[in-house]
Amino acid sequence: METMTRKEAAPRGRSDLPYAVELWQAAPADAVERVLARAASAQLAQAIFAAVQKEHPDRRITVRKGKSIVSDTAGDS
């Protein structure tokens, strides 16, 4: 009889999702305060990003995939 290890049987974790929506510190805005959400697709990440912008209009918000920033409210004028 073959058995699965606990790791093999576990569902995919949130940290496995490639996109992260990040809320940056208010002042100084030089570090991420927290990751608000993770998403499996760019489309879902952008929808979350838009919703977070409405909740935090004066804060920097980014969408990151790996080390690359995909969207950034700091570039908005």
Distance CA 71, CA 43 (A): 12
The Cα 77–Cα 62 span in angstroms is: 15
Q: Do 22 and 44 touch, CB atoms closer than 8 A?
A: no
Domains of the chain, residue spans: 16-68
Q: Which residues of the chain have pLDDT under 50?
A: 4, 6, 9-10, 77
In angstroms, rounded to a whole number, what is the distance separating the alpha carbons of residues 29 and 27?
A: 5
Name the residue among 42, 76, 34, 71 with its Cα closest to residue 58. Answer: 76
**Per-residue confidence (pLDDT) for residue 11, from 0 to 100:** 54
Of 18, 36, 16, the residue nearest 73 (C-alpha) = 36
The pLDDT, as a whole number, for residue 68 is 97
Both ends of the chain: CA-CA distance in Å? Answer: 62
